[in-house]
Amino acid sequence: MLSSGYALAVKAGYAMESANPFASMVKGCFDSFIGDVTSTIPLRRLDKVINPLQNVSHYLYEAHIMTKKGGVEQAKEIKKSGSREKSTVFELINPDAAGIDIGSEEHWVAVPEGRDEHVVRKFGCFTADLHDMAIWLKQCGVKTVAMESTGVYWICPFQILEQHGIEVKLVNARQARNVPGRKTDVSDCQWLQRLHTYGLLSGSFRPEDQVCVLRGYWRHRDNLVRYASAHIQHMQKAMTEMNIQIHKVLSDITGVTGMRIIRAILSGERKGEVLADMRAPGVKRSKEDIIKALQGDYREEHLFALQQAVELYDFYHNKIRECDGKIERCLKGVSGEAGADKIPPKKGKHKARKNECAVDLQTELYRITGVDFTEIDGLDVLSVNTILSEVGLKSAAFPTIKSFTSWLGLCPNNRITGGKIKSSRTKRISNRAAKAFRLAAQSLANSKCALGGFYRRLRARLGAPKAITATAHKLARIFYVLWSTKQRYQDIGAEYYEKQYKERVIRNLKKKAHELGYVIIPQEVGVS
């Protein structure tokens, strides 16, 4: 037995023998699609793979009914066929749409029927080939293009097509899954073209070009910081091999004291007393402990490895400073908000962070956005710059606070079946801005602010992972409100949440006592 979706599809495809141009066009596309499916998939598997086909066939059959029937007879026929009571026409949203299957070596492009002798063409990956592709698309009358975000291969085609005045919609591969079975580059680009034609694809968010430039520099800087951090581990490994236990007496071997001692060792100094005298005034460990930690076996091969690690560490930090210069020039080229020349007075609660940027990011970001986001507890200037470089500088890209938190993947993803919520887990999204919010939430574990109290209460009840996600969600909502309204953040204090918790406990106790027939009488502590 054929599945109900397949039966309805066949019914729609072969019933649309009408003079209606829309019905005739849809019938041709749908016949080809059904032929591909039935030729490659056994009948016993149709129920499992026909889900997209069921939705499409539903709209197609309703469109056929609307061309044949009218008024009350149309509604009766739709209801009799098992479709929706409210009819919907499957209309062409983007008639001048094309689909591109992006690859590492070649790109396959599909255009609407009748635009060229060959509706599907293959282009190479070289820049000249991409320009030829754009020229061919314009000759075919294509105004909008859909492509999948495949690795980094989409970036250059995206930019070149935009230069030629073609609207490009970057699509998540999950939204453009083809029907299981035969998969080729040709069928993929045709499937993208058909989906985009009927407006069934939503484009991924991409900020304005200036922000993309800033994002590129900032992501590169983040990579340089990670490379430098890897060589810190190499330094520690080389010293451990020599039994120099400096990491046990110093909290950070790349601090002022640690780097002084390491550079002195590389220059030939071996006396523990001399090396210990190089410690900074803020070091808590005694001179004797440092001397004991510096007694080791200074072998040549380990000293060579240590020297190499230090040189690479210094090299990457020099590159980080060069990248900071690019970031500064990029920020100064962005127009700012009116009246945002000076930042509000600092509260002095944000400590200096390691790998701090050489640019005065706080002043530049306030000039551009008109908001000092570092007033929000948990967010420092590096986190704020990471977030803004990912989401853009204007809040208009996200119309509501729900769309913002949903894009970050911090809001619950409710799955409702039969009127009941089966799951409320957040979506797994690799998002740098969401990661910055999560790190900020985690840093509030010992904070005395309101958000710190909120995090600790949830952690005690739900555990750390859920508490971090919920606090990051609250941080994102606060960030959006300040971003869109240009207000200043006012901390309500941890006592606010503690008072709320106390009132809720008392209210629950009174309710429970009332159910048992008792009355709770408030009494001061220590009074009998």
238-273, pLDDT tens digit by residue?
999 999 998 889 988 998 899 999 999 999 998 888
Measured torsion, CA atoms of residues 302, 305, 307, 309, in degrees rounded to the nearest 10: -140
Q: Identify whether residues 57 and 132 lie together within a single domain.
A: no
Domain range for 173 is 97-197
- Are 109 and 61 members of one domain? no
262 vs 305: CA distance, rounded Å? 12
Whether 348 is covered by a domain: the verdict is: no
Same domain for 167 and 115? yes
Please, which pLDDT band fits residue 338 given cuts at 50, 70 and 90?
low
Lowest mean pLDDT among 35-39, 288-292, 305-309, 361-365: 35-39
* C-alpha span between 112 and 13 (Å, rounded): 20
Same domain, 182 and 224: no
Give residue-wise pLDDT tens across range 473-493: 999 999 999 999 988 888 877
Q: Which of 10-14, 372-376, 411-415 has the highest mean pLDDT?
A: 372-376
Banded pLDDT at 87 (limits 50, 70, 90): very low
Cα atoms in the Cβ-side hemisphere of radius 13 Å centred on 492:
11
What's the pLDDT band for 341 if we cut at 50, 70, 90?
A: low
Give the per-residue pLDDT at 184: 86
Q: How many domains, in total, are found in the chain?
A: 4
Angle 331-336-341 from CA coordinates, rounded to 5°: 100
Q: Residue 162 is part of a domain; what is its CATH number?
A: 3.30.420.10
Q: At what angle do helices 21-40 and 4-15 cross, to 10 degrees?
A: 140
Residue 114 lies in a domain: yes
Q: Are residues 25 and 105 in the same domain?
A: no
Same domain, 153 and 239: no
> Torsion angle of alpha carbons 168, 173, 179, 183, nearest 10°?
90
Q: Pull the structure tokens for residue 52.
A: 């997209």
Q: Are residues 188 and 240 in the same domain?
A: no
Query: Does 101 score more than 50 pLDDT?
Result: yes
Query: What's the pLDDT at 345?
Result: 56
Q: State yes or no: pLDDT of 48 exceeds 80.
A: no
In a domain, 45, yes or no: yes
pLDDT for res 57: 45
Cα distance between residue 64 and residue 26, in whole Å: 10
Mean pLDDT of the chain: 80
The answer as to whether 498 is a domain residue is no
Same domain, 226 and 291: yes
Helix (H) / strand (E) containing 494: helix 494-516
Are residues 305 and 229 part of one domain?
A: yes
Residue 362 domain-assigned (yes or no): no
Asked if pLDDT for residue 364 goes beyond 80, the answer is yes
- The answer on pLDDT for 73 being more than 70 is no
Closest-CA residue to 189 (of 94, 110, 97):
110
Residue after which a domain boundary falls, among 197, 232, 249: 197
Q: Are residues 276 and 245 in the same domain?
A: yes
What is the total residue count of the chain?
A: 528
Helices (DSSP H) in 346-493: which residue ranges? 361-369, 381-391, 401-408, 432-442, 450-462, 464-485
Same domain, 234 and 147: no
- Of the candidates 204, 79, 447, the residue with the CA atom closest to the CA atom of residue 456: 447
- Write down the pLDDT at residue 74: 46
The pLDDT of 272-282, averaged and rounded, is 88
Residue 24: inside a domain: yes
pLDDT at 1: 38
Q: Check residue 176 and give its pLDDT.
A: 75
pLDDT computed for residue 400 by the predictor: 93
Tell me which residue of 387, 378, 439, 377 sits closest to 408, measured CA to CA: 387
Residue range 288-311, pLDDT digits in tens: 999 999 988 999 999 999 999 999
Q: pLDDT tens digits for 102-161?
A: 999 999 999 999 898 899 999 999 999 999 999 999 999 999 999 988 888 999 999 999
Please check the confidence at residue 178 and state whether its pLDDT lies above 80. no
Question: Considering the chain, what percentage of its residues have pLDDT values greater than 90?
Answer: 39
Through-space distance between the first and last CA atoms of the chain, rounded to whole angstroms = 81
d(CA 391, CA 408) in angstroms, rounded, equals: 9
Structure tokens at 256: 């002022």
Contact in structure between 359 and 327 (CB atoms under 8 Å)? yes
pLDDT tier for residue 223 given thresholds of 50, 70 and 90? very high
Burial class (CB in 10 A: 0-12, 13-18, 19+), 160: middle
Alpha helices in 94-176, H assignment, sequence order: 127-139, 155-163
| Coil/strand/helix, residue 101 | strand
Pairing mode, if any, of strands 415-417 and 97-101? Answer: unpaired
Please report where in the chains the tokens 């000092």 appear, as a residue.
372
Does residue 70 surpass a pLDDT of 80?
A: no
Kindly list the distances between the CA atom of residue 30 and the CA atoms of 16, 138, 496, in Å, as whole numbers in the listed order. Answer: 11, 26, 61
How many Å apart are CA 185 and CA 493, to the nearest integer? 58
Residue 295 inside a domain? The answer is: yes
267 in the same domain as 221:
yes
Query: Is 237 part of any domain?
Result: yes
pLDDT score of 343: 61
pLDDT of residue 163: 92
Find the helix packing angle between 300-332 and 209-241, rounded to 10°. Answer: 160
